[in-house]
Amino acid sequence: MREIRVGLIGFGTVGSGTAEVLRLQRERLQRKTGADVRLHRVADIAIEQLPPEFAEVELTRDADEVVAAPDIDIVVELIGGIEPAKTFILKAIAAGKHVVTANKALISQHGREIFAAAAAANVEVGFEASVGGGIPVIKALKEGLVANRIESIIGIMNGTANYILNRMTDEGLDFNTVLKDAQAHGYAEADPTYDVEGIDTAHKLVILMSMAYGVHLRLDQVSTEGISNIEPVDIEFAREFGYRIKLLAISRNHGDSFEARVHPTMVPNQELLANIGGAFNAIQFTGDMVDDVLLYGQGAGKMPTGSAVVADIVDIARNILNGAINRVPSLSYLPENLREAVITPLASLRCPYYFRVTVQDKPGVLSAITGILGRHGISIQSVLQQGREEKGVVPVMMRAYEAEEEAVRAALKEIDALEVCAAPTVKIRIMEDE
| pLDDT (tens digit per residue) in 181-231 | 988 877 788 899 999 999 999 999 999 999 999 999 999 999 999 999 999
**Residue 56 labeled ligand binder:** no
**What pTM was estimated for this model as a whole?**
0.96
**Residue 15 labeled ligand binder:** yes
The domain made up of 347-430 has a fold known as Alpha-Beta Plaits (3.30.70)
CATH 3.30.360.10 residue ranges of the chain are: 137-297
In this predicted model, what pLDDT tens digit does every residue of 64-111 receive, in sequence order? 999 999 999 999 999 999 999 999 999 999 999 999 999 999 999 999
CATH 3.40.50.720 residue ranges of the chain are: 2-133+302-337
Query: How far is C-alpha 372 from the geometric centre of its chain's CA atoms?
Result: 36
Q: What is the mean pLDDT of residues 350-356?
A: 97
**Residue 126 labeled ligand binder:** no
How does residue 406 score in pLDDT terms, banded at 50, 70 and 90?
A: very high
How does residue 434 score in pLDDT terms, banded at 50, 70 and 90?
A: very low
CA dihedral 195, 199, 201, 207 (to 10 degrees): -140
CB of 395 within 8 A of CB of 384? no
**Residue 14 labeled ligand binder:** yes
Q: Could you confirm whether 204 is annotated as catalytic?
A: yes
CATH 3.30.70.260 residue ranges of the chain are: 347-430
What's the mean pLDDT when you consider all of the chain?
95
Residue 389, pLDDT above cutoff 70: no
**Residue 13 labeled ligand binder:** yes
Pick the CATH number of 137-297 from 3.50.50.60, 3.40.710.10, 3.40.50.720, 3.30.360.10: 3.30.360.10
In this predicted model, what pLDDT tens digit does every residue of 7-61 receive, in sequence order? 999 999 999 999 999 999 999 999 999 999 999 999 999 999 999 999 999 999 9
**Residue 323 labeled ligand binder:** no
Residue 285, pLDDT above cutoff 50: yes
Query: Given phi > 0 = left and psi -120 to 50 = alpha, else beta, which region is 34?
Result: left
**Residue 425 labeled ligand binder:** no
Q: In the sheet that 2-9 helps form, which strands lie side by side, from edge to edge?
A: 58-60, 35-43, 2-9, 74-77, 98-101, 125-126
**Domain spanning 2-133+302-337, CATH architecture:** 3-Layer(aba) Sandwich (3.40)
Decide the pairing of beta strands 150-156 and 243-252: antiparallel
What is the per-residue pLDDT for 392? 79
What is the per-residue pLDDT for 433? 46
- What is the number of other CB atoms lying within 10 angstroms of the CB of residue 298? 18
Residue 365 phi/psi, 5° resolution?
Answer: -65, -45
Residue 176 phi/psi, 5° resolution?
Answer: -65, -35
**Residue 215 labeled ligand binder:** no
Tallying the residues shown for the chain, one arrives at 434
In this predicted model, what pLDDT tens digit does every residue of 164-194 receive, in sequence order? 999 999 999 999 999 999 888 777 888 999 9
**Residue 189 labeled ligand binder:** yes
- What is the number of other CB atoms lying within 10 angstroms of the CB of residue 84? 14
Query: How far is C-alpha 407 from the geometric centre of its chain's CA atoms?
Result: 29
In angstroms, the Cα distances linking 100 to 18, 65, 151, 171, 210 are 11, 17, 29, 40, 18
First to last CA, the chain: 56
What is the per-residue pLDDT for 217? 97
Q: What is the largest CA-CA distance in the chain?
A: 83
List 204, 302, 413, 427, catalytic entry: 204
CB of 201 within 8 A of CB of 161? yes
**Residue 11 labeled ligand binder:** yes
Inter-axis angle of helices 104-121 and 85-94, to 10 degrees? Answer: 10
